[in-house]
Amino acid sequence: MQEIFDQLEFRLFSYEEDSEAVVDMHRCAENLEGAWFDAPNSCRLHAKVVTRTPGSSWVVTYGNIIFAHVDMSKNPNQEGVAFAWRIHTDYRYPQVARKLLEGLKFEAQKRQYKGLLIFADNSDAISDLAKIGCQPDREYSYVRTGECEQGEVLKYESITIHPDDIARMELIPFLGSPLPPAYLNYKAVMAAEQGLFHYRRPALYEIKQQTESYIASFDGREWHIFKKGFFKADKTVISSLLKTIDSINPARILLSASAIEAADIIPASDGVLYDYFIEL
């Protein structure tokens, strides 16, 4: 196997090359319950979402065989964000994971990112990163907004923002997924247009607390809350934000362990996700 490891290549990938090959690789990791990598059409749509964010897709290959895949974009704070980390189950060796990570770091440094955040959205990705010595930074779990008993409903209003304007607003994740707001928004919009995975065009709300303003987005599946520009996280507002979005539409939201503690709320399930911050 060492000869194969020595010839692995990390390179830019377009789904137009061979979406079927990517589907076959991803099927080894997906639960096949309506995931993006189950079929060529949703694979190609995912690639369009990443490109529009903007971002890029990368693979580790041996000849024409795809061993691993990951996407990379960035948040407005110049922090690179890697997601959709997948390694073919037949090739889940530390050497493959390390090739994927080193390639990401190299490309992030070329783009002069301040650091690289890897979001591990499944247990296999968590295992892959552990094999190469990566330690998780933040722990995440899904919660139901209605479980929050503290806080108060804040003032809010429905707003309309064009998807391209979302990408220009320099929004940073506050509560919800740590992935770039532009990516989350484009994903929901484009999936809704195709009638995929119960997404709908995001309903957007501006929530205000004194002089602070937050943008809340519900995409038909879950909530996300963003903040414009750079900010110091205020844990005292978390419960009230959860109360507010629950009054609009009770649903689930992904929270970090510290946010869950601040809101004194119980996770909706035992499932845990992690992110990893890599110094560059």
Query: For position 210, what pLDDT does the model report?
Result: 86
Name the one residue in this structure whose structure tokens are 């414009």.
Answer: 228
Query: For position 64, what pLDDT does the model report?
Result: 82
Average pLDDT, the chain: 90
Query: For position 42, what pLDDT does the model report?
Result: 80
Q: Domain 2-134 sits in which CATH superfamily? A: Gcn5-related N-acetyltransferase (GNAT) (3.40.630.30)
DSSP H helical segments within 10-55, as ranges? 19-27, 40-52
Beta strand 273-279 pairing with 138-144: antiparallel
Domain-by-domain residue ranges, the chain?
2-134, 141-271
Is there a contact between 151 and 142 (Cβ–Cβ < 8 Å)?
no
pLDDT at 229 over 90: no
H or E element that contains 235: none
Q: Which residues sit opposite 125 in a β-bridge?
A: none
Give per-residue pLDDT as tens, 161-175: 999 999 899 899 999
Query: For position 19, what pLDDT does the model report?
Result: 57
Tokens of 14: 């377009």
What's the distance, CA 97 to chain centroid?
19
Cβ-in-10-Å burial (0-12, 13-18, 19+) of 20 comes to exposed
Query: For position 43, what pLDDT does the model report?
Result: 78
Give per-residue pLDDT as tens, 101-123: 999 999 999 999 999 999 999 89
Residue type, 55: G
